[in-house]
Amino acid sequence: MNTTARVSSDRPANLSPNSGDSRPFDITRLTGAPFHLDEAGVVWVEETLHGMRTEDKLRQLFCLVTYSDDQSALERIAGDIRPGGIMCRPMPLAACRRVVDILQSCSAIPLLIAANLEAGGSGALTDGTQLGRPMQLAAAPRGRAEWARRLGAVCGAEGAAAGINWAFAPVADIDTNWRNPITNTRTFGSDPGTVGEMAEAYIAEVQKHGLAAAVKHFPGDGQDERDQHIAPSVNSLSVEDWDRTYGQIYRRAIRAGVRSVMVGHILFPAWSRRMHPGIPDRDILPATVSYDIVTTLLRDRLGFDGLIVTDASTMAGLAVYLPRHVLVPAAIAAGCDMFLFTKDTEEDIGYMEQGFRDGIITPERLDMAVTRILALKASLGLHRAQAAGSFVPPEATARSVVACPDFRRWAAECAAESITLVKQEPGVLPLTPQKYPRVLFVPLDNRQDGTSVFQNDDSQNLRLQHALEAEGFSVTVFQAPAGFEGMMTPVREMTERYDLILYAASLATRSNQTVVRITWQNPMGVNVPVYTHTIPTVFISLDNPYHLIDVPLVRTYINCYAGNETVIRALMDKLTGRAPFVGVSPVDPFCGRWEAKL
């Protein structure tokens, strides 16, 4: 296919106009929401913009990523590539502070430093606090907005301690489709009102701590059953239904003053067809490169005047729709202000520059994007921090904040309030060594077949196993026996050897997987729970809340939403009867199946 011809003469109607968005941008708007700049901030934005060469402006459009504190690599990023921002993957506090120090000291224009602060400071710092995954917080019935506020406080305080100034959170997706392999516990659940309330509380609190929130993933994930990292994702709602759900969530976020929005590689066909009646299906494009979704819907209809950043541009959900040299500048022309990550940095910068020379990105659109980037930086006080020569608090101050006693206490309270007893067989709980001295422990983590490249962490199951042993249970870990029909373990032998069977599933959502389902062992699914009528059986999910779809007739089922040490301690208190179950499911754990309720 001649891609150049498609862009110029057979251009998809949902791609931005050839002229780009050349509407005038009144810089006095920067004094209003969401940046609220003072006079000095506006002057800094104007003077910085006017002092930049076109090459520098185009490089400001990029937000790159780092995985380490390697000084030479960081100096090259800041001095040679000169991006507008960089995202830090989790690392120890000392390493993250070093990253910030090197990058900011080597940058002529201060950088936005981002992290996925979705569940706590642990999104940036390996020694930070994991307060709780969003769905875990939503399962705590006592003040869901208060838990979201606490999440914002932990993320804001621990992020600021490391020099992080941009939170790629909250996740405002609605987990409507239980099959979705990426939203799941990253969301605040399936109720739009709860999602909106908790997102709004998080935004207000994290921004009080000097970080900008980036609500994501516009126009909304969770309807589809695909992960946009590896396949196109579609929001299939009608415009009216979207407006009542996702639309209301984003309106609340905007009213709360959110300073940035992350746009996903998500198609919204109903809106595309509303804007272009009769549009060919092949021309319906992901939001990232859709002028109609980014500019007409988010900017014009919802009234968002802050910074718009793409989701990771390396995802297949975007890459399968347009060739790389087209999609790079098309995202900016559509109305996005920053381009997240690169496939090959030098090549992608070249594509952006060529898009500007070809008029895909007009000078006006470029200046609008860079103005918002600079305005976000000014709203965070980065120009003042640069003048003062300091972007991080003193080390002693930082260490007093990260994983502080109050945050650890909050995490313990969240675990205690969120663990959800979905259904129970009368008389099975509580579990004690006197009642069930011999336990067959069946860990499930999809490692059995050895085929998964992105393995799930089995340490959660080990934590639970060790906790059971410490409690005084005699624990035998299930091992698949040899033999097929006619040669399997007799039921009599199972009932003589075990007093309780306890399943522990550790199958977390993560990028680049198509399902979060249990893979049973051979021969013949030998570890499927078939002894529920003869041996008391308890199924515990440490991650995915939807496993009843695969074990519908298990009679006692518990959702934990996470499996860290704090959660395991709270779980043991509940299993043994020392504490009650008080969590309330924020989604339908029965997946709409009547038989799962039996």
**Catalytic site includes residue 550:** no
Question: Do the bridges between strand 85-88 and strand 166-167 make them parallel or antiparallel, or are there none, so unpaired?
Answer: unpaired
Asked if 256 and 306 touch (Cβ cutoff 8 Å), the reply is: no
Going by C-beta distance under 8 Å and a sequence separation of 6 or more, which residues neighbour residue 278?
A: none
In 3D space, the residue among 241, 197, 250, 193 whose CA is nearest the CA of residue 219 turns out to be 250
In 3D space, the residue among 290, 385, 391, 483 whose CA is nearest the CA of residue 44 turns out to be 385
Q: What is d(CA 302, CA 248) in angstroms, rounded to the nearest whole number?
A: 9
Question: Do the bridges between strand 260-263 and strand 212-218 make them parallel or antiparallel, or are there none, so unpaired?
Answer: parallel
- Supply 272's token pair: 């595309």
> How many residues are present in the chain?
598
Going by C-beta distance under 8 Å and a sequence separation of 6 or more, which residues neighbour residue 519?
A: 446, 448, 449
Strands across the sheet containing 85-88? 307-310, 260-263, 212-218, 166-167, 112-115, 85-88, 62-66, 339-340
Measured at the CA of 147, the angle between CA 588 and CA 565, to 5 degrees, comes to: 80
Asked if 160 and 211 touch (Cβ cutoff 8 Å), the reply is: yes
Q: Is 12 exposed, middle or buried (0-12, 13-18, 19+ CB in 10 A)?
A: buried
Count the neighbouring beta carbons within 10 Å of the beta carbon of residue 207: 21
DSSP structural state of residue 326: H
Catalytic annotation, pick one of 21, 227, 311, 348? 311
Question: Cα separations (Å) of 452 from 11, 91, 315, 335, 436?
Answer: 39, 25, 19, 38, 35
In 545-557, which positions are buried (b, 16+ CB within 10 angstroms) versus exposed (e)? bbbbbbbbebbbb
Where in the sequence numbering do the catalytic residues fall? 311
